[in-house]
Amino acid sequence: MPEGPDLLPRLGAFARLLHDAGLEAGPRRLTDATRALGFIDLKQQIDFRNALRSVFVSRKEDLPTFEAAFDIFWAPPDPRAAAGVMAGRSRALPMSPERAKAWANALGLSSSQMNREQEPTAVPVSSSGYSAEELLRHKDFEQMTWQETEQVRRLLEQAPWRMAERKTRRLRAARAGRIDLRRSARHAIRSSGELMRLFHRRPRIRRRPLVLICDVSGSMERYSRLLMIFSHAIARREDVEAFVFSTRLTRITRLLRYRDLDRCLESVSKGVHDFSGGTRIGDALADFNRHWARRVLGHGAVVIIVSDGWDRGDPARLTAELIHLRRSAHRLIWLNPLLGSEGYQPLTRGMAAALPHVDDFLAAHNLKALEDLGRLLAGLGTRAGSN
Amino acid sequence: MTAGPPTTIEDVEARLRERKYIGDRGLATSIFLALKLEKPLFIEGEAGVGKTEAAKVMADVLGARLIRLQCYEGIDLAHAVYEWNYPRQLLHIRLMGEGEDRRVAEREIFSAEFLLRRPLLDAIDNDDPNPPVLLIDEIDRSDEEFEAFLLELLSDFQVSIPEIGTIKAKRAPFVVITSNRTREVHDALKRRCLYHWIDYPDLEKEVEIVRARAPEAAAGLAREVAGLVQGLRSMDLYKVPGVAETLDWARSLAALGATRIDSSLVNATLGSALKYQEDLERVREQVPALVEKARGA
């Protein structure tokens, strides 16, 4: 490890590297890091690493990025390069493939080295029952021109996405409800201990959190862009979590936070490596149930899955995961863009397996369908046996 | 046992170990730095990896009082900081004679005597010889309003009570915050803290933990149970067992008089490790294979 006057500028450069990789490494943390290093023995590389980690990382997801950055930045210089023997030759990165992947992801590098599962997009021809003269609202997203998409985007952004509400356990003052002993007593004390007036409070009402899980596999390709627009329109709220999947599940919540749609779409396409790949809904939901459900399904969340149900995975697995998911969600809604096409019947293996285990099965092929969804979300009652 | 605050990372490690807490060097480093930099320590990890235990042991290491605030949805200042003892206040006023001055009476009933001190006030307003350890447990269960309040509290370690005034900590407590990540805690709060993620231990470390915490389990049994749990963690389960489950399991088996494991014993006690019906069903089919692997571990 470098010591003395050399260390501080290098630490600053390391913080910038972390910052570029998406970690929060502002001046405050840099100061903490500098102070922390004053308390440890810099010759112990493991302590040096541990100290910087506890200062710069504050999320589990950032751990692999940190480890990779540390490996790259603080790696001992290659003696051969120092001797000028191998000038210009790149050497293997001193890190495991897993870390290298995290690093590539953090920097938004291309995914050419990742194995992509390709699947011929075998989809039945769905003919929308509406002609071009009909209102934009009834036009199938699949057939929209760029300009029409833009119009829809504006409409979606204006739409007041009202969410179903739930009672929280936090109480606030109200005209009726439970007696607020604290305020009533306070008032009584002022009137010489006479309980002259009773105050009340009742549970505060909050919106339910919303979780979107969107299929962006090959068969959904024509809807992907609009789905992203839809997600963007509603995911700017704090309590929306968004995921996409084709062969694997990717969380895009943070990517959708950009206000600017184009920037957001760009970051999503960089961050998601299996756009238009094959579909394994069961596997994606299994991943969700194991790694995300406990984190994002608290407080009576509503879950929306958007998919056409063209699944190459095992239907039994899909069924099992849906049953589990439905138990942990307040409401499970499945949106299917094909449902709008005339004569469509949910006969695909995946859809047939899924249908008995969702609370609502709705279309999502045009703006009107999304508006219907909005109405459903606003008016969600409570399902028996859930909170 | 050594007194006074730890002076090196090795010192922290050794003191944790003396108290049968087997942590890794990373955790010892984070604890050491949190003490030195006087910053709160934010510990995350899956359920049952020993987050709360770390804080408890730290209190013992520092010879300090442990003050624990268990968070839950809807926790508010009346439960976390202070509350006036209204019934007593009312009684006091009612018992007062007619002639007495009301203003004097009000001053009386809004004094420390009528104050119910909750954990946060307790931690701030302390006269302890060693500053207490304040454990804010499972902060992910509270809500954003409470987080915002904590953020304020942690920045200046003072509480203001309108009737009494501002109370500032003479010596700030050592704060440990834990989270199970059932929701994302706000960055602003995390930024104030040093962070440590506690991972599941590897086989050797888990054996060591079982030996230290469940000494009633024989050496061979400890190793086999740890091996079993390691096997379960690599399976596709809804809820993989934590260290707490390993300990429960080892204790259950020891209570049954077992010194080695076999399929029927494992089947009979599997509920110590797995909490979901689906997981139990999935694992049952594979018990013989798991047992064989664990016995070879």
Domain-wise residue ranges, chain B:
9-81+118-198, 203-296
- Partner-chain residue, chosen from B102, B187, B195, that has the shortest CB–CB distance to A57: B195
Q: Does the pLDDT value for residue A85 go beyond 50?
A: no
Q: Does the pLDDT value for residue A132 go beyond 50?
A: no
**Domain annotation covers residue A366:** yes
Tell me, yes or no, whether A344 and A242 share the same domain: yes
List pLDDT tens digits, range B227-267.
Answer: 999 999 999 888 899 999 999 999 999 999 999 999 999 99
A189–B106: do the CB atoms touch at under 8 Å? Answer: yes
- Partner-chain residue, chosen from B33, B44, B89, that has the shortest CB–CB distance to A60: B44
Tell me, yes or no, whether A46 and A69 share the same domain: yes
**A181 vs B contacts (CB less than 8 Å):** 86
B29–A171: do the CB atoms touch at under 8 Å? Answer: no
List pLDDT tens digits, range A226-267.
Answer: 777 777 777 666 678 889 888 788 888 887 777 777 777 777
Confidence of residue A80 (pLDDT cuts 50, 70, 90): low
List pLDDT tens digits, range B155-175.
Answer: 889 998 888 889 999 989 999
3-state secondary structure chain B: CCCCCCCCHHHHHHHHHHCCCCCCHHHHHHHHHHHHHCCCEEEEECCCCCHHHHHHHHHHHHCCCEEEEECCCCCCHHHHCEEECHHHHHHHHHHCCCCCCHHHHHHHHCCHHHEEECHHHHHHCCCCCCCCEEEEECHHHCCHHHHHHHHHHHHHCEEEECCCEEEECCCCCEEEEEECCCCCCCHHHHHCCEEEEECCCCHHHHHHHHHHHCCCCCHHHHHHHHHHHHHHHCCCCCCCCCHHHHHHHHHHHHHCCCCCCCHHHHHHHHHHCCCCHHHHHHHHCCHHHHHHHHHHC
Name the strand (E) or helix (H) holding A101: helix A97-107
**Domain annotation covers residue A364:** yes
Tokens of A153: 């985007």
**A320 vs B contacts (CB less than 8 Å):** 278
A188–B30: do the CB atoms touch at under 8 Å? Answer: no
Tell me, yes or no, whether A190 and A225 share the same domain: no
**B32 vs A contacts (CB less than 8 Å):** 39-40
Question: Of residues A349 and B254, which shows the higher confidence score?
Answer: B254
The pLDDT, as a whole number, for residue A20 is 87
Tokens of B217: 């389990």
Q: Domain boundary at A182, A206, A230, which?
A: A206
* Nearest CA distance, A47 vs chain B (angstrom): 7
* Nearest CA distance, A261 vs chain B (angstrom): 24
Q: For residue A260, give the CATH number of its domain.
A: 3.40.50.410
Tell me, yes or no, whether A232 and A268 share the same domain: yes
**Domain annotation covers residue A115:** no
Complex ipTM more than 0.95, yes or no: no
Confidence of residue A128 (pLDDT cuts 50, 70, 90): very low
In the predicted model, what is the mean pLDDT of residues B176-185? 89
Tell me, yes or no, whether A142 and A40 share the same domain: no
Range of the domain at A174: 168-206
The pLDDT, as a whole number, for residue A53 is 96
**B183 vs A contacts (CB less than 8 Å):** 295-296, 298-299
In the predicted model, what is the mean pLDDT of residues A104-133? 38
Question: Of residues A178 and B272, which shows the higher confidence score?
Answer: B272
**A188 vs B contacts (CB less than 8 Å):** 90
Nearest-CA residue of chain A relative to B145?
A170
Residues A250 and A271 sit within 8 Å (Cβ to Cβ): yes
Q: Does the pLDDT value for residue A111 go beyond 60?
A: no
A58–B73: do the CB atoms touch at under 8 Å? Answer: no
Mutation site for A-interface testing, chosen from B90, B115, B147, B232 by largest number of A Cβ within 10 Å: B90
**Longest alpha-carbon distance in chain B:** 85
Q: Does the pLDDT value for residue A92 go beyond 50?
A: no
Tell me, yes or no, whether A178 and A249 share the same domain: no
Local structure of residue A170 (DSSP, 8 states): E
* Nearest CA distance, B106 vs chain A (angstrom): 8
Residue A83, judged by CB atoms within 10 A of its CB (0-12, 13-18, 19+), counts as exposed
B89–A189: do the CB atoms touch at under 8 Å? Answer: yes
The pLDDT, as a whole number, for residue A375 is 78
Give the total number of structural domains in chain A: 3
The pLDDT, as a whole number, for residue A114 is 34
Q: Report the C-alpha gap between B12 and B144 in whole angstroms.
A: 33
Among candidate residues A111, A106, A30, the one with its CA nearest the CA of residue A68: A106
Identify the bridge partners of residue B115 per DSSP, sorted by sequence position: B84
- Partner-chain residue, chosen from A169, A294, A320, that has the shortest CB–CB distance to B74: A169
Confidence of residue A353 (pLDDT cuts 50, 70, 90): confident
B90–A188: do the CB atoms touch at under 8 Å? Answer: yes
* Nearest CA distance, B181 vs chain A (angstrom): 6
Nearest-CA residue of chain A relative to B77?
A170
**Domain annotation covers residue A127:** no
Tell me, yes or no, whether A253 and A147 share the same domain: yes
Whether domain B9-81+118-198 has CATH 3.30.70.360:
no
Tell me, yes or no, whether A275 and A144 share the same domain: yes
- Partner-chain residue, chosen from B32, B74, B187, that has the shortest CB–CB distance to A168: B74
Mutation site for B-interface testing, chosen from A52, A189, A251, A323 by largest number of B Cβ within 10 Å: A189
In the predicted model, what is the mean pLDDT of residues B30-50? 94
A189–B36: do the CB atoms touch at under 8 Å? Answer: no
Of the spans A200-214, A274-288, A349-363, B136-150, which averages the highest pLDDT? B136-150
- Partner-chain residue, chosen from B78, B90, B195, that has the shortest CB–CB distance to A189: B90
Q: Three-state SS for A30?
A: helix
* Nearest CA distance, A298 vs chain B (angstrom): 7
* Nearest CA distance, A293 vs chain B (angstrom): 8
Q: Does the pLDDT value for residue B104 go beyond 60?
A: yes
Tell me, yes or no, whether A10 and A50 share the same domain: yes
Tell me, yes or no, whether A352 and A235 share the same domain: yes
Question: Of residues B288 and A174, which shows the higher confidence score?
Answer: B288
Q: Report the C-alpha gap between A280 and B105 in whole angstroms.
A: 72
Q: Report the C-alpha gap between B90 and A118 in whole angstroms.
A: 75
Averaged confidence pLDDT in chain B: 91
Tell me, yes or no, whether A144 and A176 share the same domain: no
List pLDDT tens digits, range A272-328.
Answer: 776 667 778 888 999 999 889 888 887 788 999 988 888 888 888 899 999 999 988
In the predicted model, what is the mean pLDDT of residues A322-347? 83
**Domain annotation covers residue A120:** no
Tell me, yes or no, whether A326 and A369 share the same domain: yes
A24–B191: do the CB atoms touch at under 8 Å? Answer: yes
The pLDDT, as a whole number, for residue A308 is 85
**Domain annotation covers residue A123:** no
Q: Report the C-alpha gap between B38 and B133 in whole angstroms.
A: 12
**CA distances, A205 to each of A164, A165, A181, B249, B288 (Å):** 10, 6, 21, 42, 51
Q: Report the C-alpha gap between B90 and B86 in whole angstroms.
A: 6
Averaged confidence pLDDT in chain A: 75
- Partner-chain residue, chosen from B78, B93, B184, that has the shortest CB–CB distance to A193: B93
Confidence of residue B13 (pLDDT cuts 50, 70, 90): very high
The pLDDT, as a whole number, for residue A5 is 61
Q: Does the pLDDT value for residue B138 go beyond 70?
A: yes
Confidence of residue A104 (pLDDT cuts 50, 70, 90): low
In the predicted model, what is the mean pLDDT of residues B137-154? 90
Q: Does the pLDDT value for residue B212 go beyond 50?
A: yes
* Nearest CA distance, B174 vs chain A (angstrom): 16
**Domain annotation covers residue A118:** no
Count A/B contacts: CB-CB distance under 8 Å.
Answer: 113
The pLDDT, as a whole number, for residue A77 is 66
Contacts of B180 (CB under 8 A, 6+ apart): A294, B44, B45, B46, B47, B138, B140
B181–A171: do the CB atoms touch at under 8 Å? Answer: no
Nearest-CA residue of chain A relative to B199?
A60
Mutation site for B-interface testing, chosen from A30, A50, A289 by largest number of B Cβ within 10 Å: A50
Among candidate residues A154, A287, A141, the one with its CA nearest the CA of residue A221: A141
